[in-house]
Structure 1
C-alpha cells in the first residue's frame, strides 16, 4: 500500500476502505512493519492497533495477530545496526493492540465485546516478550533517513500494556520489573536515547497504581540497580578496553533510569490511555518511601564520585 492510501484510512477514523476485505489488508499491514520507510511503517502499525481497539478484528483474529507478531520479536534478535530492528520494534507496538483491546472490552467499553484473552495466551506472550527484550541488542533510537527504531521504548510500551491488563497479577508485575532491571544494568553498546528511560518508568507508575506489590518487593527490585556497580565490582584501575565502554554505558543507563524514576515519583506522569486514574488521584502509598530509596540508590551508584556526601552517611 502507498503512503497516501494508509493516510486515507487514518484520516477516515480507521474505517476499512469501501470494497476492501480487512483480512487481506491486515496481511499487507503486517508485512509493512519491518519496512525501513517510516512513512509506510508508522501508519501500518497505527492502523493495526486501531483495528484491535475498535473491534474491527474478531477475538480470534486478534489472538492470531498476537501470535504472529510475538514471533517477530525474535527475528534477527542479537543483530546491531540492521533493518531487522524495525520488525521487532514495531511488532511490539502491534502486540499492544490485542492486550489493550482485551482490557477495554473487559470493562465494557465496546458494546457486545468481552475479554477474550486467557491467562495461558497472555503469559505466553509475556514470557516471549521478556526473553526478546533481554536479548535485544539494537538500542538505536532515531536513525538518519529511516527515523525511529526505538526498540527499548516500544518494548516499554508493550510491558506497560501487560502490566495494566487485569490478567497480570503480582507474579507478572515482579517479572516485568525484573526484566526492566536486568535490561537497564546490562552492558550496552550505547546509552539509551529517545527518552527510553521515561517509557520504562511509565511501567513502574502503572504497577504502582495497580497496587499489587509490597514495599519489600520494590526494595528488592531496587537493589538490582545497585549491586552491579559497587566500587569493588565496577571499578578497575586498569580497565579492559574491550569491555569498559559497554560497562560504562550500563552504569550511565542505570543512573539515567533512576533519576527519571525519582522525578516520576515526585512529579507524576502525564495521563494517557494506559492509565485509569491520574497519578495524583491514585498516588501510591509507598511514594515517599520510594523517593528516599531511589535517592539512596543514586548515591550508592555514584560511589562518592559526584554527589556531596556527609561524613555521617
Structure 2
C-alpha cells in the first residue's frame, strides 16, 4: 500500500490511525511530500491530514511539534528566489505547516521566546526573498506562496510575544509581497494579507492611524510602466480589502477619510 492509499483510508476513518500505524512515521512521510507536484497527495491528503492531527485532534506531544517545526524550517528556504519552478510547492506548504504550529502555540503556548523570535525573523526574511507568486498552477495545483506565508504572518501577529515593534517588522514582510510581485495577484492574496493587517488593528497592537501612515508612505513608482501599473493595482486591491473588512468589523473609527484617501491614491487614472 502506498502513501496515497494509506492517507485515503485514514481520511475515511476521520483521521484516526489504525492499530500498528505510527503517528510520527506517517507524519515524516507526509512531510517528505510537501514539495510533491501531485496536488492530491500534497494538499488534499497530506496537508489536510496534518491539519487535523496537529490542530483539530491535538495528536502531537510538544516534543513532536518541535520536531515537525524544525523539519519544515529546514526546508523553508530551499530554492527561494527562483521563479516558476516546482520548488515553490515545498516552500509554500512548509509555510502552511509553520502556520499550523503557530496556531497550536497560540492555542496552547509551548514555544520559548527564542523559538518564536527565530520564526518571526525567518518569516519576514521569507516574505522578502520569495519571488514565485503564482496562484493555481497546472498541473501541480496550488502554489500560492504569498497567501500561505501571509497566514504565517497572521499567526505571528496574534502571538502573545508580539507587540507594535514586531508588527512593524511583519509589515516589512507583507509590503515585500506587494512590492516584489511581477503581476497583479488574482487568487485573493490581498484577502490573506488583509487578515494579518486586520489582526494588528483588532488586537490593539497597531493603531489604525499608524497602519494608514504605513500605507500612505508607499509609492507606485517602478522601474518600468508595467511594474508601476502592477504595484498600483496590487496596493489598490489590498486597500479595498482592508477598508471593507474594517467597516464590517466596525474598526474604521475616525480614519475613514484617510482610508478613502488611500483608495483615491491608488485608483485608476481613468476613473
TM-score, normalising length: structure 1: 0.79
Whether the 8 Å CA contact 2:209–2:255 is kept in 1: the answer is no
Correspondence 1:306 to 2:270: yes
Correspondence 1:259 to 2:223: no
Question: Taking structure 1 as reference, are residues 73 and 246 closer, same or farther at Cα in structure 2, changes over 3 Å only?
Answer: farther
TM-score, normalising length: structure 2: 0.91
Match of 1:118 in 2: 112
Give CA deviations for 1:240-268 in whole Å, capped at 9, x if unaligned.
7xx4323322222111111111212223x
Match of 1:150 in 2: 144
Match of 1:294 in 2: 259
Deviation at 1:205, TM superposition (A): 1.6
Question: Taking structure 1 as reference, are residues 292 and 64 closer, same or farther at Cα in structure 2, changes over 3 Å only?
Answer: farther
Q: In 2, Cα distance between the equivalents of 1:264 and 1:173?
A: 19
Three-state SS of the structure 2 residue aligned to 1:32 is coil
Give CA deviations for 1:14-57 in whole Å, capped at 9, x if unaligned.
22232111111111010111000111101212222322223211
Deviation at 1:190, TM superposition (A): 1.7
Three-state SS of the structure 1 residue aligned to 2:175 is helix
Q: 5+ unaligned residues in a row in structure 1: which ranges?
A: 106-114, 235-239, 268-278, 308-313
Q: In 2, Cα distance between the equivalents of 1:117 and 1:74?
A: 21
Whether the 8 Å CA contact 2:92–2:145 is kept in 1: the answer is yes
* 1:11-30 correspondence runs (5 A): 11-30=12-31
Whether the 8 Å CA contact 2:146–2:177 is kept in 1: the answer is no
Deviation at 1:128, TM superposition (A): 0.5
Correspondence 1:194 to 2:194: no
Deviation at 1:3, TM superposition (A): 2.7
Whether the 8 Å CA contact 2:233–2:266 is kept in 1: the answer is no
Whether the 8 Å CA contact 2:190–2:237 is kept in 1: the answer is yes
Correspondence 1:66 to 2:69: yes
Match of 2:50 in 1: 48
Q: Could you say what the CA RMSD is over the residues aligned between the two structures, in angstroms? A: 2.0
Match of 2:124 in 1: 130
1:246 to 227, 240, 254: 227
Structure richer in helix, relative to its length: 2
1:87 to 70, 85, 90: 90
> How many residue pairs end up in the alignment?
268
4+ residue segments displaced more than 4 Å = none
Match of 1:220 in 2: 213
Give CA deviations for 1:282-306 in whole Å, capped at 9, x if unaligned.
x43xx1333322220121234x823
Q: In 2, Cα distance between the equivalents of 1:127 and 1:167?
A: 13
